[in-house]
Chains A and B, each alone.
Chain A
Amino acid sequence: AQTVTQSQPEMSVQEAETVTLSCTYDTSESDYYLFWYKQPPSRQMILVIRQEAYKQQNATENRFSVNFQKAAKSFSLKISDSQLGDAAMYFCAYWYNAGNMLTFGGGTRLMVKP
Chain B
Amino acid sequence: NAGVTQTPKFRVLKTGQSMTLLCAQDMNHEYMYWYRQDPGMGLRLIHYSVGEGTTAKGEVPDGYNVSRLKKQNFLLGLESAAPSQTSVYFCASSWAAGGYNEQFFGPGTRLTVL
Contacts and interface: CB of A to CB of B under 8 A. Distances in A.
Interface string A88-114: 000101011100111111110000000
Interface residues of A, number: 26
A52 interface: yes
Given A50-B102, A107-B41, 17 more contacts: A9-B40, A42-B107, A43-B108, A44-B108, A47-B102, A50-B100, A95-B98, A95-B99, A96-B99, A97-B98, A100-B50, A100-B56, A101-B59, A104-B41, A106-B41, A106-B42, A107-B42
Contacts of A45: 43, 90, 92, 105
Contacts of A35: 99
Contact of B97 (A44, A50, A97, A105): A97
Nearest to A50: B99
A93 B90 CA distance: 15
A4 interface: yes
Interface of A: 4, 9, 32-33, 35, 42-47, 50, 52, 91, 93, 95-97, 100-107
B107 A43 contact: yes
A4 B97 CA distance: 20
A52 B98 CA distance: 11
Contacts of B56: 100
B1 to A, nearest CB: 15
A32 B33 CA distance: 19
Nearest to B88: A43
Contact of B48 (A97, A101, A107): A101
A91 B107 contact: no
Interface string B80-114: 00000000101010000111101101111000000
